[in-house]
Structure 1
């Protein structure tokens, strides 16, 4: 007992009275409990090591089988080395243990796909908008992606080959080689041939070659069509909105490509995607332009600007009064009479009658005084004189006279006698050049 306690519960011997049975019993229980805890910990560690060995055993068995096969086929050593490196990378990326989808629900499967693939799909403008508006459809798109693994110097796609899918790079380093362009280094998340989702018969303008071990995902246009067809999670209105969103996006995307000088270039397709996404109706409703919001519009500034413009126009008109007077003096009595006859539709109203009506307006103290009348006549004369000099001496004048109901009765009767009803005393003239 002393030696056991020395190993587990030092110090030894215990400071327990030999004749105290209670303390001896507690000491024995503590020793037994310590042994149980140590045994459980050792058992857990050993079981974990066995599981790790079993997990690595599958990969080790596959590596061993591939190596034996290559050796029996008299494969060169350099090629064996390349193959084994690729096998190691593939086994690290792809789990050898199959996943049974029937063990979890469909909702959990979608959440699993979103957590695995949603981080790089969010960088694509249209898919980011889809995630914000239609998360169920975005989950279906994540499930439709296909994984591809490439080794060094392997082509993801070649120039002038048919573009049947949109490729998305997630890991590795690639080289984008275009016609007549310098090779571009591609790292991180990039997507290529987005236009093939809306077009058939599209060709790759360049080639994408892996410079290291890399992993990509691909999405085909037929997969998107199938998603819209069986997406029963959304209501009818949501499906219709999604169809309209996709249609507008595809239309703006292709229109931008047609207007560009290099429609099939990778940079053009990326710009087309951003342009089409910003012009989309759903995007504008979700992220409105701050300049178009009513709370950001200063109506007082607009009103004050309009008032300033009117004041400037009045000042300019006052500065040109002297010029107007010279022009009025140059107009003959015959030209005035012909102008009045044309304006009144053939009724013979003399210039003297018009002046008499203006005098009556002044005596009645109306809202359109004689000064405003003469100023309007000057404006009309200036405009028609300008047209007369440049258009074979033709003069057009538009006079609009309105009679206020609160004027004196004799003035109103006198005005009706002088001029027709459509040329009443209160004049608001408008020049037509």
Structure 2
């Protein structure tokens, strides 16, 4: 069986230090007439999907972990029956699931189902929530939302992964090439041909170690309401306004507010985790129209720098790193280390789920959301997710970062309403 790419193996190993399962929420309009039969159909499709009929085989030692075929069992679809079936209560019921991380060497995914949900956005009556919990070694929300869509009945071929075909024997040569390319990057930066690296941001309350109650919330809008000039930029501008207002009311100085934005890499997909993080300014003091231009320019600058040949050379050298060295490096990572400056004061990622062309037991999908996890230096994350013409902005917050999450979400809704 194919081995995990070095990028995906590192994600798998680091999950022992910082839990990183991906959580995707799918909302379906209505309740299947026969939920057991509907879930059996999902499992049958998953069994026919290579990426879902797999687990991580990791014997340690000198080799990278490998993907091993495994059967899909009924234990991977769990139906929850909370005492309160309201939308808010079901979101609250997802929080403890995030703390119960998967062992990808046993099973790489699990589907949590909440039927007969009252008040779910997009539902004409009662709705059904299906929350996919999946190992991050199989990718972030962008990749795994496509994998899940296949399990829910979409007829599609998943984007191919073509890993670098390099081994440890080539590491010295690739290391030399990467060093040369880096010197060229430095020269290109100094001459102004390439944008400089993003500046670090002062830590704020949102960067405190997550403590206290954790909450999940969502704001749902039509795609047309956010596409100014793009959905991502529109969402970032509203997050900037809401978060700066909330932090300012708490006595923080949000003038240098920034976000850690997840950006897909250009070129062929070399791993399931085919993205990187980039720091951008949120420009809370700018007028709305100006802020959109500044956000667009920041994102373009991050993409331009990421496209420099030095980044490709660095990635190739990383892919040639021997498994024992990479395994040792992951083991040395200390999640308790604190820093004085950060890439961003919140994380913002995005998931494009494509067309609303699948269902659960005949009930059409109307909602998609993802909830990026919290980490020792990040107590507030967001994700902008789209399915069909519906876009959601999810909020995952610890009390230490956002003392009143509903007040923050109210600010976010007001900011969106103002566009």
TM-score relative to the length of structure 2:
0.18
CA radius of gyration, larger in: 1
TM-score relative to the length of structure 1:
0.18
Larger fraction in helix: 1
